Homo-oligomer: A and B are copies of this chain.
């Protein structure tokens, strides 16, 4: 995701203002940049960091899981643009302490995630890290011209949808980091979401192809944070309904769903006239309607008959590392 930290994003946009290139259609500020690919297509390009002790703990998960999660970040950004993944580029610096076996398994995890998404591993860079493992994945995708899903397209009256249960990955992460064995089916589902997230490129592609969504973003930093980004980019407000948010059936489930990151579900808005067409999409997990876009600014949560202000409380990497949290 390009420059998630709000102030930096504003600054970077100002700094990049006036930079134009005829081949580029969309620059800083969305899930990916867009450029013309010819033959009725546009290319989407995104880069995502994956740093030890910030985005993952090396001791908590198998190497192949770390590689898979690393790749999923870029694949999910492409999904949020409605772009089909084409290629991934892996820049990685391994610490001296990472065994050859671990390095190869990490690489295999990246390749596995790419292959699942129909993408190829097409390049990257390699270095030695004096600190922890450092990775950055660039994702290249393609989408039909003019069909890409932007963050900026939501209009008052549009319905807000999410593509699946939220908060599972945060719960699974807590289990994995605590070394806790999963006690029940809910725990197992949470651990599976944390370890084997799958970006929603098929759904994103269908939303774009059929012009079902007016705006979209992937939920990598948590619903509250990513909905906030979408509202700000679209210049609108949002009201969501706590009872409708698909959350884990566990104590604190709603909080996890609101603020837990790394679910890699899609958050998207649908004009009311397209709701019936969306319902006809045959996906294993049907998208869930959780609220509505309003004119104005800010986010609001309806809960137990009352409507309160909702603040972005997701996991912004820039403010806290996992360890420091």
Contacts and interface: CB of A to CB of B under 8 A. Distances in A.
Interface of A: 1-5, 8, 11-12, 15-16, 19-21, 23-24, 27-29, 32-33, 35-39, 41, 43, 45-49, 51-55, 86-87, 89-91, 93, 104, 107-108, 111, 114-115, 118-132, 134, 136, 138, 140, 142, 317-321, 323
Given A24-B120, A104-B11, A131-B132, A19 B115 contact: yes
B121 A15 contact: yes
Given A19-B115, A323-B130, A122 B33 contact: yes
B125 A3 contact: yes
Given A19-B115, A27-B120, A47-B125, 17 more contacts: A2-B124, A3-B123, A4-B125, A16-B111, A16-B120, A20-B120, A21-B119, A23-B86, A24-B87, A28-B124, A35-B43, A43-B43, A47-B91, A47-B136, A51-B134, A89-B138, A127-B317
Contacts of A20: 120
Contacts of A107: 11-12, 15
Q: Which of A47, A104, A123 has the most CB atoms of chain B within a 10 A radius of its CB?
A: A123
A221 to B, nearest CB: 11
B19 A114 contact: yes
B136 A86 contact: no
Number of copies: 2
A119 B20 CA distance: 8
Given A130-B53, A323-B130, A123 B91 contact: no
Contacts of A118: 21
28 contacts: A3-B125, A15-B111, A21-B86, A23-B87, A24-B86, A24-B120, A27-B120, A27-B123, A28-B123, A28-B124, A32-B123, A35-B140, A36-B38, A37-B37, A38-B38, A45-B89, A45-B122, A47-B123, A47-B124, A48-B91, A49-B125, A53-B130, A54-B128, A55-B127, A91-B136, A126-B317, A131-B131, A138-B138
Nearest to A39: B38
A263 to B, nearest CB: 18
A126 B128 CA distance: 21
Contact of A130 (B35, B54, B91, B138): B54
Contacts of A23: 37, 86-87, 142
